[in-house]
């Protein structure tokens, strides 16, 4: 097998396969799924995708994934094209990976491994790097395969594409588990720092507006347009990973904090959902969520459904208001664009914009102003002196405007959103009025 590290004059030649199981329930067309997988592969540096195909499957073969005829056909194709790396857009078991690599004499990555490789290349902050390392170790742990009386070479972690496992495994899963514990301890310190930053923001009466959406929907371009920042924005999947926050002054003079988060994708590896949970929890702090959609994409509805599922898994409350921002209207044909704008006018929670040209942005900012103004109002509370937990919660949320002690308890003036009010009432109901 050609080792890409020894070949300096050309990139790694990759072939993308999307297994299409006839009996599987499908949300999107196999051809669109293949196109997304090719875009994922193109997001890696030094990778040249020289071929791609949908591989029809009647059933999954436990040992080799594909049938013998298909394996032989693909093997000849890979040999003729000088393929170094095969990317399978779906799950591949450790045994299937080992057998296919041996049969085809190439390096093989499944969808999880590919996304982990991209994340490893893109993570910039300390937290992002640690999160990717943790996710990679969790994935790598499933790739350990014993061969007779000794362990095979390592098949996971960062640097999947770098060759057929340059490091010999010195220990088994215990070594990986020890490393996981070490990284989790480091992450705990970073997460505590992030929580301190959140606590500091709660004391500042600025609402938080979070951008979420499918990867490459244009979140970073919209973020730059709204804030004047220069966050990396490319026509590329997962162009940015690390969350970015900036202050924005709305036309009314009101100030908000805008948060740009990592893009979502269908079949996001569970290891990454778990590892990036602390980062994605920024969304849970939001007073308003902007779901940015690539309205020009042929599967925009399917992408929106994927985003909705991830938000639900994170526990985002239905009480948090959400706008759908239909981005990239500049890429639509005039008749479709006009019809879309008519539909937009009929649905107040939908806003058609072009983050690239700025069209529709003024109306979106006005809607944000109105939504946040409606969501925050003042209230007077009297808390018994025994309500230490409830009082601490109010201060932690940063909603306290004034506070004075009276004969009957703490007299507190708060300015909060409907979400915060509901959460406070739930807290008091759970812990009792004296909580």
DSSP-based three-state secondary structure for 222: helix
Closest alpha carbon to 266 in 297, 293, 304, 236: 304
Tokens for 41? 């592969």
**Full-model pTM:** 0.70
**Strand pairing of 208-213 and 150-151?**
unpaired
Tokens for 336? 């479709």
CB 144 within 8 A of CB 167: no
Closest alpha carbon to 375 in 201, 242, 256, 248: 256
Helices (H) and strands (E) in the chain, counts: 14, 15
Through-space distance between the first and last CA atoms of the chain, rounded to whole angstroms: 67
| 128 phi, psi to nearest 5 deg | -60, -45
CB 153 within 8 A of CB 164: yes
The reported pLDDT for the residue numbered 188 is 82
The reported pLDDT for the residue numbered 198 is 63
Residue linked to tokens 């990679």: 136
Task: Report CA torsion sign: 55, 57, 60, 65.
Answer: negative
CB 116 within 8 A of CB 160: yes
What angle do the packed helices 126-141 and 111-122 form, to 10 degrees? 160
The reported pLDDT for the residue numbered 345 is 64
Per-residue pLDDT of the chain (435 residues; tens, 9 = 90+): 334 444 445 688 999 999 998 877 777 788 988 998 998 888 888 889 999 999 988 888 999 999 999 999 999 999 999 999 999 999 999 899 999 999 999 999 999 888 888 888 777 677 778 888 888 888 887 776 543 233 344 444 445 554 444 444 555 677 888 888 898 888 888 777 766 766 665 555 678 899 999 988 988 889 888 987 665 545 455 545 556 788 888 887 778 888 887 778 877 766 677 666 655 666 777 889 999 999 999 999 999 998 888 888 777 777 778 999 999 999 998 888 888 777 666 788 899 999 999 999 999 998 998 888 755 678 999 999 998 888 988 887 778 899 999 989 999 999 887 767 877 887 776 665 444
| 324 phi, psi to nearest 5 deg | -95, 120
Q: How far is it, in rounded angstroms, from Cα 424 to Cα 435? A: 11
HSE-up of 112 (CA within 13 Å, CB side)?
21
What residues are paired with 211 via a beta bridge?
Answer: 260, 290
Q: Walk across the sheet containing 409-417 and list its strands.
A: 376-383, 409-417, 400-406
Exposed/middle/buried for residue 69 (C-beta within 10 Å: 0-12, 13-18, 19+): exposed
Tokens for 205? 């009466």
CB 202 within 8 A of CB 397: yes
Under 8 Å CB-to-CB from 299, ≥6 apart: which residues? 28, 29, 32
Max CA separation in the chain (angstroms) = 87
């Amino acid at each position: 097998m050609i080792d890409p590290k020894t070949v300096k004059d050309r990139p790694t030649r990759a072939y993308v396969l999307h297994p299409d199981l006839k009996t599987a329930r499908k949300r999107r067309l196999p051809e669109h799924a293949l196109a997304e997988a090719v875009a994922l592969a193109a997001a890696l540096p030094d990778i040249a995708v020289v071929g791609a195909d949908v591989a029809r499957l009647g059933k999954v073969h436990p040992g080799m994934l594909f049938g013998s005829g298909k394996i032989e056909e693909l093997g000849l194709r890979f040999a003729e094209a000088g393929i170094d790396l095969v990317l399978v857009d779906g799950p591949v078991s450790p045994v299937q990976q080992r057998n296919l690599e041996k049969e085809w004499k190439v390096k093989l990555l499944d969808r999880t491994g590919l996304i982990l490789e991209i994340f490893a290349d893109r993570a910039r902050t300390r937290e992002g790097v640690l999160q990717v390392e943790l996710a990679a170790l969790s994935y790598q742990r499933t790739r350990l395969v014993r061969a007779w009386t000794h362990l095979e070479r390592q098949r996971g972690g960062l640097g999947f594409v770098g060759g057929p496992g340059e490091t010999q495994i010195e220990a088994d899963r215990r070594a990986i588990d020890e490393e996981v514990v070490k990284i989790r301890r480091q992450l705990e310190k970073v997460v505590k720092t992030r929580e301190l930053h959140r606590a500091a923001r709660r004391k500042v009466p600025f609402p938080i507006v979070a951008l979420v959406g499918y990867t490459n929907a244009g979140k970073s371009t919209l973020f730059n347009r709204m804030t004047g920042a220069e966050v990396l924005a490319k026509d590329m999947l997962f162009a940015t990973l690390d969350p970015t926050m900036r202050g924005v002054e709305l036309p009314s003079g009101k100030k908000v904090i805008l948060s740009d988060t990592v893009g979502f994708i269908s079949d996001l590896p569970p290891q990454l959902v778990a590892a990036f949970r602390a980062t994605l929890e920024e969304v849970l702090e939001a007073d308003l969520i902007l779901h940015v959609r690539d309205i020009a994409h042929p599967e925009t509805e399917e992408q929106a459904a994927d985003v909705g599922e991830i938000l639900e898994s994170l526990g985002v409350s239905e009480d948090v208001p959400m706008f759908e921002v239909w981005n990239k209207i500049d890429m639509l044909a005039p008749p479709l664009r006009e019809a879309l704008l008519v539909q937009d006018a009929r649905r107040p929670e939908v806003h058609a914009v072009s983050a690239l040209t700025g069209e529709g942005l003024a109306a979106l900012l006005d809607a944000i102003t109105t939504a946040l103004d409606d969501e925050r109002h003042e209230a007077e509370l009297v808390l018994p002196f025994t309500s230490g937990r409830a009082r601490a919660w109010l201060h932690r949320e940063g909603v306290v405007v004034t506070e004075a002690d009276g004969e009957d308890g703490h007299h507190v003036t708060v300015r909060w959103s409907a979400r915060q009010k509901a959460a406070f009432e739930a807290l008091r109901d759970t812990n009792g009025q004296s909580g």
